Chain A
Amino acid sequence: MNDKLFVKGSEAIAEAAVRAGCRFFAGYPITPQNELPEYMSWRLPEVGGTYVQGESEMASMNMIFGAASTGTRCMTSSSGPGLSLKAESLSCALGSKLPHVMAIMMRGGPGHGIIFPAQQDYEFAVHGPCHGGVKQFILAPSTAQEAVDLTYSSFDIADKYRTGVLILGDGFLANTIENVTFPPMKKLEDLPQHKDWKITEYDPNHHKLITSYFPPEIMEQENIKMGQMYEYWEEHETQYQNYLMDDCEILICAYGSTGRICEEVVDELRNEGLKVGLFRPITLHPFPKKVFEEIDYNRVKLIVSVEMAIPGQLVEDIKNYVARRTRVEHFGRSGGVLINPGEIKEAIHKMVEE
């Protein structure tokens, strides 16, 4: 297979996962990410892997629990509604420290929502969806190429911290076809073998237990360790794009697809004489909060969170981190109505005039 392809975001994520060593996929069909499992259904058997279409989202997630227990690099995918259904098993897998990767393509509203591009699940994915206080990595790629690069590295992150990585995208990322260059196929023998915890066969001399259930004192210690790990992530694992932030007077905050669209808005507004910059978080958890401690609030007079979500969700976090040191506004489209650079520009001009 060629390393360079003109390919859909969903398929790009699937191929990147295979090249990262993913050999098990279980999922249940739901738009707008069906091309991902479809790709896996023929691609995994080609490399000796296994594809299963589960009977439900939750069953698929439980299969991930099983596959991850054997130390196999594994993945599932769904949409926002699917994440709700997977949440119970996901919490259990994270509590049991089972490395895995999940791709979620958001929909345009609650319930059935709508299949067109939207970012209505920031709040749910970042501050939920798990019970018991467990968290995971949330990565938000803005282009198919970035989705490939992040997916490729996500399996390493999952292994390193024995955690989950959720790749959060939308109908834009899933369905846009663009040029992508793939990294090389990893050799399975070079990957971490997890000999100390994986369960593959009975060994009378070495009993292993994968569980999220502990007696009180141990459970507390586990929770303390988890908390310390999340602090460590915040210190060492955050990623973001700084586009012309360093001298900006107006700062746009946007993630994922909206982030790439806003890059164009920054260029055009700069041409029109406004000093605009873009902060695009790539890790939504751990969130690059530190950025908001480094901003010169005498210079930055306006921060605008641009999202395909109404009411705004990212904006609430930004307000929290800015802590009233400057004006924070929200501009969004939602429900699957496409957001475009022209209307974002207009909205910002209007805010500046106010």
Chain B
Amino acid sequence: MERSLLVAGFGGQGVMLIGKNIGYTASKKDLNATFFPAYGAEMRGGTANCSVVVSDSKICSPVKQELDEIIVMNDLSYEKFAGRVKKGGALYINSSLIEAKYEGDDITTYYVPVADIARKVGNPLVANMVMLGAYVANHEDIDVESMKETIKENLHGKENLIDVNIKAFEEGINLMKGGTQ
């Protein structure tokens, strides 16, 4: 089993954290995982993406031309990366910001209004955790409790934000389990 994922958006949307959490949670299960970040010098506003590969055997290349799954959080990323999903793969779209609809039925698309849900949860900054929840809901091999532990660990020093992040993550799961799209 080898699964490749690319998460893309603009700096400040927390795309790195989505990827890091997925990689770290896989590594806790004794799977191999690589996380490769690519971003410019700017902290916020620039483009940012990360590649995550999870495998039960050796991982050679941490980056791929075509990916099993791609998460896009803004228009620019949609334009740049949507065409790089493998046939039969999945594309997760932040439909709160991206109006485009993917044409073609060679891949599965999920339109997740992450920013709207994050606002409902009470903090627009946790949109990334909504997307993470949506992604995890589609992967039975990712343990939900283990992912929650990962989220908590990564909020070390920001304990006051744990609840809202976990809530956003759960909302993402609920949305997918509820059968949206």
Q: Which residues of A contact B (CB under 8 A)?
A: 6, 31, 115-116, 172, 175-179, 260-264, 267, 338, 340-343
Q: List 8 A-B contacts (CB under 8 A).
A: A6-B23, A6-B28, A177-B36, A178-B32, A261-B60, A262-B60, A338-B63, A342-B64
A340 touches B27 (CB 8 A): no
Query: Given contacts A176-B34, A178-B35, A179-B32, are A342 and B65 in contact (CB under 8 A)?
Result: yes
Q: Interface digits, B9-28 against A, CB 8 Å rule (1 contact, 0 not)?
A: 00000000000100110011
Query: Given contacts A260-B60, A340-B65, A341-B64, are A175 and B27 in contact (CB under 8 A)?
Result: no
> A341 — which chain B residues lie within 8 A by C-beta?
60-61, 64-65
B89 proximal to A (CB < 8 A): no
A264 touches B23 (CB 8 A): no
**New A-B contacts (9) at CB < 8 Å, excluding given A31-B41, A178-B23:** A6-B24, A6-B27, A178-B62, A179-B27, A260-B61, A261-B60, A340-B64, A341-B60, A342-B64
- Name A177's contact: one of B34, B60, B63 (CB within 8 Å): B34
A177 touches B20 (CB 8 A): yes
CA distance A260 to B53 in the complex (A): 14
B33 proximal to A (CB < 8 A): yes
CA distance A340 to B36 in the complex (A): 13
B37 proximal to A (CB < 8 A): yes
B37 touches A175 (CB 8 A): yes
B61 touches A175 (CB 8 A): no
Residue of A nearest to B62 (CB): A176
> A264 — which chain B residues lie within 8 A by C-beta?
60-61
> B116 — which chain A residues lie within 8 A by C-beta?
none
> A31 — which chain B residues lie within 8 A by C-beta?
41
B33 touches A178 (CB 8 A): yes
- What 4 A-B pairs come out closest when comparing CB atoms? A342-B65, A264-B60, A177-B35, A6-B27
CA distance A177 to B21 in the complex (A): 11
B66 proximal to A (CB < 8 A): yes
> B61 — which chain A residues lie within 8 A by C-beta?
260-261, 264, 340-341
- Name B34's contact: one of A115, A178, A338, A342 (CB within 8 Å): A178
Query: Given contacts A338-B38, A341-B65, are A178 and B60 in contact (CB under 8 A)?
Result: no
CA distance A115 to B46 in the complex (A): 15
> A179 — which chain B residues lie within 8 A by C-beta?
27, 32-33
Tell me the minimal C-beta distance from B29 to chain A in angstroms. 11
> A262 — which chain B residues lie within 8 A by C-beta?
60
> B62 — which chain A residues lie within 8 A by C-beta?
172, 176, 178, 260
Tell me the minimal C-beta distance from A143 to chain B in angstroms. 8
> B63 — which chain A residues lie within 8 A by C-beta?
261, 338, 340
B59 proximal to A (CB < 8 A): yes
Tell me the minimal C-beta distance from A202 to chain B in angstroms. 48
CA distance A260 to B33 in the complex (A): 14
> B66 — which chain A residues lie within 8 A by C-beta?
342
CA distance A179 to B38 in the complex (A): 19
Query: Given contacts A6-B24, A264-B60, are A172 and B36 in contact (CB under 8 A)?
Result: yes
CA distance A6 to B62 in the complex (A): 14
B24 touches A178 (CB 8 A): no
CA distance A178 to B62 in the complex (A): 10
CA distance A178 to B24 in the complex (A): 8
CA distance A264 to B33 in the complex (A): 16
> B33 — which chain A residues lie within 8 A by C-beta?
6, 178-179
> A263 — which chain B residues lie within 8 A by C-beta?
60
B65 touches A343 (CB 8 A): yes
> B27 — which chain A residues lie within 8 A by C-beta?
6, 178-179
Query: Given contacts A6-B24, A115-B41, are A176 and B35 in contact (CB under 8 A)?
Result: yes
> B32 — which chain A residues lie within 8 A by C-beta?
178-179
Tell me the minimal C-beta distance from B75 to chain A in angstroms. 22
Residue of B nearest to A345 (CB): B65
Residue of B nearest to A175 (CB): B37
> A178 — which chain B residues lie within 8 A by C-beta?
23, 27, 32-35, 59, 62
CA distance A263 to B62 in the complex (A): 12
CA distance A340 to B32 in the complex (A): 19
Residue of B nearest to A258 (CB): B61
> A267 — which chain B residues lie within 8 A by C-beta?
60
Tell me the minimal C-beta distance from B11 to chain A in angstroms. 15
Of B23, B27, B37, the most chain A CB neighbours within 10 A belong to B27
Residue of A nearest to B34 (CB): A178
Of B32, B35, B66, the most chain A CB neighbours within 10 A belong to B35
A175 touches B36 (CB 8 A): yes
A176 touches B60 (CB 8 A): no
CA distance A341 to B38 in the complex (A): 18
